[in-house]
């Protein structure tokens, strides 16, 4: 009976490591499996993946993981230290800090994913177009990139808040707008070297249009570098969102955003250290997780380290 | 069966003695044995090691200088250079030997010359690493060497950067740098493969003259069987990490081993016949 | 079939002007196998690239099958179905993230042809690769196999002219023999016109009927492979190349002239 699960897992493994893939799906899965093995060989990268995985799981299953409401005050139990009933203690309004951290994970993930979804494709598109077409397209797009790169994030966020009012969506938008330029530069640099290769010459010689070449041939080769850079940037994005929250520009109360929790916990830092320190540790751990994951991904995905 | 190592001259000990050299790498996909039991002796003569890619010839050359990159492991029953056991020699002694008594010239000067240092500085640095000399002395010696490799304007080249010189000149600079310390043994790993054919031969002529003048031993590693046969005295043919055949260059066309014969036959010739080339069939028994 | 008149290509790299091809003229008949041989910098590859539109900005007149070519990069769709190219480096001419199937089906999709699956299978058979190679990635193929895929890709649109830029220079000698045999067979089976560029005189002489020897952008002379085999080239430069291809000969090297 114990043989059956082993048999099916080894059948899968044979299918994945086959030298003669029969379908495109098998080939792609086999390749992904090889990349996974390389990634998993790095212990720290696995740790990063686990941390990020826990973050995602906690965010998705927040109502099940939290022990009480993150936003309803309970003034009977204000400022209690960490203990059996309240694992991370309670804040100045009696709310369970543990539950606030758990629900705050949702906000953190929300910010990080939204920024990545907005900034990375924009950067990729701008960078590959600039690199592939060259000439005045390159010049115009790169000057545009320089302009956006020159904006200091926090000042831009302040400007948005002044114009549109505070809120987490505006914070996300402000961060995304200032995050895409580095991706554009990376994509452009990669495209410049890809452009001179024989495989691009070959596809041009088959009559492919520029759009097809950029989308089908250039972009797949740039995505590795971009993914690595985005993952490494996530720590910074979390900290920026936390900073905006700290300044009161991001998520507004009573949302349990970690940065805002640090800000409001500042007043109590000396006597009730847990109000500010616990969210701080949460930010630290998640940033570390993303950094380790990014490093691990780079070791696996970096085209320069060879296929 | 085909490779019995012979001492070059029964009276004098060989310059380099190798028995059962093995180089292996531990990779994620398993153990890769790049070199599996190579044995030969080298006197003050030109020995060619010929093989296709993956035959282990470059790894064998690097292993002689203990330059195998980690995670590679080198083992041998005998690895003896002029009485010094290279396997057990301390790092300090190996460093003295490398560049001092044993030098190595590699394929592409674009990658083996430091692009941010002038040619002159690199040559004098190589010299002063092994000989106590003042800067002025080192410069004089460097200019002499540049002249010995027939560079027409040694002063100008001395001040130039590697990217300012052509491929053929870059390789001659490499030779100058490697021979300035007067080594006894030179290992050349595809030294002319990146060059045009006439430049290739001119560079080899310079190497030939210098090696003969100084009574050096030369190990010439290449994939080009014809070139090695016309340039060297003896040839080792490698395949799959093993030596398939050891033969004198003059006797190459009477080679016995089917791999050597196959390699010779599959080269296109400049004769009017446009017949299909005989294809080399690899016998898996050769890998055992 | 291919008519080149007074082709002139100048590259500018920074302040320098490199005159890569100077006033080259030649005619290549349909079904012929024409070789361009020379050392590096002779301009031989540049001629191929100018023909394809990969190197725009040339002067002169070129026509393929009667149709005049544009000095810019623009070529018609029918041009791409007539002329295809095989590149030198098998490790650089296949997209590293595309399977063999994708690489071979893409030209079919671009030109809107039908029966992609069938054509891909046929192309793989033609170059002697079995169907098991269809879904591999380039890093799972050897150098010789990659070059065969590159040839299959060039042939999938059923062109009449194949431009070969040093197709075997990066291959081991035994693999080179297989690929040369394959090219010879394909030329006969499909009645192709070849333009082969190489620095290796033996390869060019084996595969080609007529050979143009180039140096510094100029055509030094045109010989047939027969004349080369009899050792009868007229020009000193060609004789020197022929001598050099025979291997190392210390005495002969002293006679080498520096043609600059």
Q: Is B49 helix (H, G, I), strand (E, B) or coil?
A: strand
Pull the structure tokens for residue A83.
């203990």
* Eight-class DSSP state of B66: T
**Best of C16, C174, C229 to disrupt the B interface by mutation (most B CBs within 10 Å)?**
C174
The per-residue pLDDT of chain C, averaged, comes to 89
Distance, in angstroms, between B82 CA and closest chain C CA? 30
Q: Report H helices in C111-219.
A: 116-126, 143-155, 173-190, 201-207
Average pLDDT over residues C32-44: 90
| Site from C145, C173, C211, C255 to mutate, B interface, most B CB atoms within 10 angstroms | C173
**Which tops the pLDDT comparison, A164 or B45?**
B45
Mean pLDDT of chain A: 86
DSSP code for A61: T
What's the token pair of residue C87? 């590149």
CATH class, domain C31-58+71-254, is alpha beta
Chain B residues with beta carbon closer than 8 angstroms to that of C198: none
Query: Of A158, A192, A16, A171, which Cα lies nearest the Cα of A107?
Result: A171
Cα–Cα distance between B166 and B182 in angstroms, integer? 25
Closest chain A C-alpha to C248 CA, distance in angstroms: 33
Residues forming a β-bridge with C150? none
Count of H helices and E strands in chain A? 13, 0
- Which of C89, C101, C107 lies closest to A206 in CB terms? C107
CA-CA-CA-CA torsion for C187, C191, C195, C201, nearest 10 degrees? Answer: 40
Nearest to C128 by CA among C167, C183, C88: C183
Neighbours of chain C (3+ CB pairs under 8 A): A, B
DSSP one-letter string for chain B: -------S-SSS--SEEEEEEEEEEEETTEEEEEEEEEEEEE-SSEEEEEE-TTSSHHHHHHHHTT-PPTTEEEE-SEEEETTEETTT--HHHHHHHBTTTEEEE-S-HHHHS-TTS-HHHHHHHHHHTTS---HHHHHHHHHHHHHHTT-S-HHHHHHS-GGGS-HHHHHHHHHHHHHTT--SEEEEESTTTTS-HHHHHHHHHHHHHHHHHHT-EEEEEES-HHHHHHH-SEEEEEETTEEEEEEEGGGGGG--SHHHHHHHHTS--SSS--PPPPPPPPPGGGG-
User: What pLDDT digit, counting tens, does each position of B113-149 carry?
Assistant: 898 999 999 999 989 988 888 989 999 999 998 988 8
C236 touches chain B (CB under 8 A): no
| Inter-chain CB proximity A208 and C110 less than 8 Å | yes
> Per-residue confidence at B7, pLDDT binned at 50, 70, 90?
very low
Please report residues of A whose CB lies closer than 8 A to that of B28: 37-38, 41
pLDDT digits (tens, 9 = 90+) for A37-64: 888 888 999 999 999 999 999 999 988 8
C-beta atoms of A24 and C107 within 8 A: no
Per-residue pLDDT tens for A245-291?
Answer: 777 777 788 888 888 888 888 888 888 888 889 999 998 999 899 98
Two tokens at B190? Answer: 């595809």
Point out the residue among B196, B271, B276 whose CB comes nearest to the CB of C199: B196
C132 touching chain B per CB within 8 A: no
C-chain residues within 8 Å CB-CB of A303?
Answer: 96
B267 near C CB under 8 A:
yes
Q: Which residue has the tokens 């149709």?
A: C67
In whole angstroms, how far apart are CA B190 and each of B49, B61, B193, C43? 10, 11, 5, 25
**Minimal CA separation from A8 to chain C, in Å:** 23
DSSP E strands, chain B: 16-27, 30-42, 46-51, 72-75, 78-81, 84-85, 102-105, 185-189, 217-222, 234-239, 242-248
Q: What is the SS3 assignment for C141?
A: coil
The stretch A234-239 carries a mean pLDDT of 83
Distance (Å) from the C-alpha of residue B28 to the closest C-alpha of chain A? 9
Which tokens is C241 given? 């190349």
Q: Which residue of chain C comes nearest to A303, CA vs CA? A: C96
Q: Do C93 and A307 touch (CB under 8 A)?
A: no
Q: Binning pLDDT at 50, 70 and 90, where does residue B237 land?
A: very high
Mean per-residue pLDDT, B28-56: 89
C184 touches chain B (CB under 8 A): yes
% of chain A residues with pLDDT over 70? 96
Give the residue-averaged pLDDT of B204-220: 89
- pLDDT at res. B218: 93
Decide the pairing of beta strands B102-105 and B185-189: parallel
Is B270 within 8 Å of C180 when comparing Cβ atoms? no
Amino acid A306: pLDDT: 41
CA distance C40 to B198: 11
Cβ-Cβ contacts under 8 Å, B212 against chain C: none
Q: What is the ipTM of this complex?
A: 0.88
Please check whether residue C88 touches B, CB under 8 A. no
Q: Residues A48, A291: contact at Cβ < 8 Å? A: yes
Helices and strands, counts by H and E, chain B = 10, 11
Task: Kindly list the partner chains of chain A, i.e. chains with 3 or more CB atom pairs below 8 Å.
Answer: B, C
Name, in order, each residue with C-beta under 8 angstroms of A132's C-beta and a sequence gap of 6 or more: A191, A195, A210, A213, A214, A218
pLDDT of amino acid B10 = 44
Fold of the domain spanning A24-51+71-305: MetI-like fold (1.10.3720)
What's chain B's average pLDDT?
87
Please tell me the distance from the alpha carbon of residue B126 to that of residue B147, in angstroms, as a whole number.
17
Q: pLDDT value at position A251? A: 79
Instruction: Return the residue of A nearest to B27 by Cα.
Output: A38
Q: Do C96 and A221 touch (CB under 8 A)?
A: yes
Mutate to test the interface with C, among B110, B270, B276 (most CBs of C within 10 A): B270
Residue from A193, A194, A206 whose CB has the most chain C CBs within 10 Å, to mutate? A206
Number of Cβ within a 10 Å radius of residue B99: 19
Q: Which residues of chain A make contact with B29, given a CB cutoff of 8 A?
A: none
Q: How confident is the model at residue B9 (pLDDT cuts 50, 70, 90)?
A: very low
Cβ contacts of A136 within 8 Å, gap of 6 or more: none
Quote the tokens at residue A228: 């690595």
Query: Per-residue pLDDT averaged across C115-142, rounded?
Result: 90
Strand ranges (DSSP E) for chain A? none
> Touching check for C18 and chain B: CB below 8 Å?
no
**In this complex, do B270 and C205 lie within 8 Å of one another by their Cβ atoms?**
yes
| Domain boundaries, given as residue ranges, for chain A | 24-51+71-305
Domain ranges of chain C: 31-58+71-254
All residues of chain C having their beta carbon less than 8 Å from the beta carbon of residue A198 are 87-89, 92-93
Structure tokens at C48: 């191929």
Residue B17 pairs in a beta bridge with B41, B80
The strand pair at C83-86 and C67-68 is best described as: unpaired
C-beta atoms of A207 and C140 within 8 A: no
The pLDDT value given to residue A307: 38
A112-140 mean pLDDT: 93
Spell out which residues of chain B touch residue C242, defining contact as CB-CB under 8 Å: 270
Mean pLDDT, range A144-168, rounded to an integer: 83
Calculate how close chain A gets to C214, using CA atoms only, in Å. 23
Q: Is the Cβ pair A27, C137 closer than 8 Å?
A: yes
C-beta atoms of A197 and C54 within 8 A? no
Classified as helix, coil or strand, B90 is coil
Higher pLDDT, C104 or A167: C104
Instruction: Report yes or no: A261 and A276 within 8 Å, Cβ to Cβ.
Output: yes
With an 8 Å Cβ cutoff, the interface of chain B facing chain A consists of: 28
Chain B residue numbers touching A37 (CB-CB < 8 A) = 28
| Cα–Cα nearest to C9, from C47, C65, C63, C48 | C47
Q: What is the pLDDT of residue B19?
A: 93
Q: Cα-atom radius of gyration of chain B, to the nearest Å?
A: 20
What is the number of alpha carbons within 13 Å of residue B7 lying toward its C-beta?
Answer: 7
What's the average model confidence in pLDDT over A147-155?
84
Q: CB–CB of A205 and C80 under 8 A?
A: yes
Q: How far is C214 from chain B (nearest CA, A)?
A: 13
- Whether C136 and chain B come into contact, CB under 8 Å, resolves to no
* pLDDT reported for residue A302: 66
Nearest to C95 among A23, A31, A199 (CB): A199
């Amino acid at each position: 009976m114990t043989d059956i699960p082993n048999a099916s897992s080894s059948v899968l493994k044979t299918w994945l490591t086959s030298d003669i893939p029969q379908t495109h799906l098998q080939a792609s899965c086999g390749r992904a499996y090889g990349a996974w093995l390389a990634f998993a060989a790095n212990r720290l990268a696995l740790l990063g993946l686990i941390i990020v995985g826990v973050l995602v799981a906690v965010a998705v299953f927040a109502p099940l993981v939290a022990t009480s409401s993150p936003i309803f005050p309970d003034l009977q139990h204000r400022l209690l230290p960490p203990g059996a009933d309240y694992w991370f203690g309670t804040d100045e309004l009696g709310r369970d800090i543990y539950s606030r951290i758990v629900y705050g994970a949702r906000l953190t993930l929300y910010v990080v994913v939204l920024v990545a979804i907005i900034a990375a494709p924009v950067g990729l598109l701008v960078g590959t177009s600039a690199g592939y077409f060259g000439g005045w397209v390159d010049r115009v797009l790169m000057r545009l990139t320089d302009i956006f790169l020159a904006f200091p994030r926090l000042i831009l966020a302040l400007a948005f808040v002044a114009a549109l009012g505070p809120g987490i969506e505006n914070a996300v938008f402000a961060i995304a707008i200032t995050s895409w330029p580095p991706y554009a530069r990376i994509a452009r640099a990669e495209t410049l070297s890809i452009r001179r290769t024989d495989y691009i010459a070959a596809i041009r010689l088959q009559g492919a249009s520029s759009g097809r070449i950029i989308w089908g041939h250039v972009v797949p080769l740039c995505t590795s570098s971009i993914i690595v850079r985005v993952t490494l940037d996530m720590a910074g994005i979390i900290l920026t969102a936390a900073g905006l929250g700290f300044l009161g520009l991001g998520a507004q109360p009573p949302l349990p955003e970690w940065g805002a929790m640090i800000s409001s916990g500042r007043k109590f830092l000396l006597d009730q250290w847990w109000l500010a320190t616990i969210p701080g540790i949460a930010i630290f751990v998640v940033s570390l997780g993303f950094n380790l994951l990014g490093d691990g991904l780079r070791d696996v995905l970096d085209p320069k380290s060879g296929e | 069966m085909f490779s019995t190592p012979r001492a070059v001259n029964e009276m004098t000990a060989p310059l380099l003695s190798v028995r059962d050299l093995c180089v292996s790498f531990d990779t994620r996909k398993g153990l890769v044995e790049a070199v599996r039991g190579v044995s030969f002796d080298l006197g003050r003569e030109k020995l060619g090691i010929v093989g296709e890619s993956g035959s282990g010839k470059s790894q064998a050359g690097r292993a002689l200088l203990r330059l195998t990159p980690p995670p590679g492991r080198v083992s041998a029953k005998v690895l003896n250079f002029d009485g010094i056991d290279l396997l057990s020699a301390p790092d300090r002694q190996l460093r003295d030997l490398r560049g001092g008594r044993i030098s190595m010239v590699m394929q592409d000067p674009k990658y083996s010359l430091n692009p941010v240092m002038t040619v002159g500085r690199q040559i004098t640095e190589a010299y002063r690493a092994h000989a106590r000399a003042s800067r002025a002395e080192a410069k004089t010696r460097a200019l002499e060497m540049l002249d010995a490799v027939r560079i027409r304007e040694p002063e100008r080249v001395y001040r130039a950067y590697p990217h300012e010189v052509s491929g053929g000149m870059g390789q001659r600079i490499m030779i100058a740098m490697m021979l300035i310390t007067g080594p006894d043994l030179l290992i050349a790993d595809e030294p002319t493969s990146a060059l045009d054919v006439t430049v290739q031969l001119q560079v080899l002529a310079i190497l030939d003259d210098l090696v003969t003048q100084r009574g050096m031993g030369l190990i010439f590693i290449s994939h080009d069987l014809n070139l090695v046969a016309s340039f060297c005295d003896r040839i080792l043919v490698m395949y799959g990490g093993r030596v398939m055949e050891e033969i004198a260059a003059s006797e190459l066309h009477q080679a016995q081993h089917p791999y050597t014969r196959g390699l010779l036959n599959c080269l296109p010739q400049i004769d009017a016949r446009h017949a299909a080339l005989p294809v080399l069939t690899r016998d898996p028994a050769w890998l055992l | 079939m291919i008519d080149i008149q007074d082709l002139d290509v100048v590259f500018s790299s920074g302040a320098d002007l490199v005159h890569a091809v100077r006033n080259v003229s030649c005619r290549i008949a349909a079904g012929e196998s024409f070789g361009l041989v020379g050392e590096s910098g002779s301009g031989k590859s540049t001629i191929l690239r100018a023909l394809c539109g990969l190197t725009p900005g040339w002067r002169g007149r070129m026509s393929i099958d009667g149709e005049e070519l544009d000095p810019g990069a623009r070529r018609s769709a029918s041009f791409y179905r007539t002329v295809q190219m095989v590149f030198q480096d098998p490790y650089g001419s296949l997209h590293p993230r595309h399977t063999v199937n994708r690489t071979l089906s893409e030209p079919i999709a671009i030109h809107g042809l039908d029966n992609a699956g069938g054509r891909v299978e046929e192309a793989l058979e033609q170059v002697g690769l079995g169907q098991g190679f269809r879904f591999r990635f380039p890093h799972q193929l050897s150098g010789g196999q990659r070059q065969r895929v590159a040839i299959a890709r060039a042939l999938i649109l059923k062109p009449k002219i194949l431009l070969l830029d040093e197709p075997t220079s990066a291959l081991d000698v035994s693999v080179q023999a297989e690929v040369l045999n394959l090219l010879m067979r394909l030329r006969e089976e499909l009645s192709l016109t070849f333009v082969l560029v190489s620095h290796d005189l033996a390869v060019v002489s084996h595969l080609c009927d007529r050979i143009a020897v180039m140096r510094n952008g100029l055509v030094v002379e045109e010989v047939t492979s027969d004349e080369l085999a009899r050792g009868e080239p007229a020009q000193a430069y060609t004789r020197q190349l022929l001598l050099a291809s025979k291997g190392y000969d210390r005495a002969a090297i002293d006679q080498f002239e520096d043609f600059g």
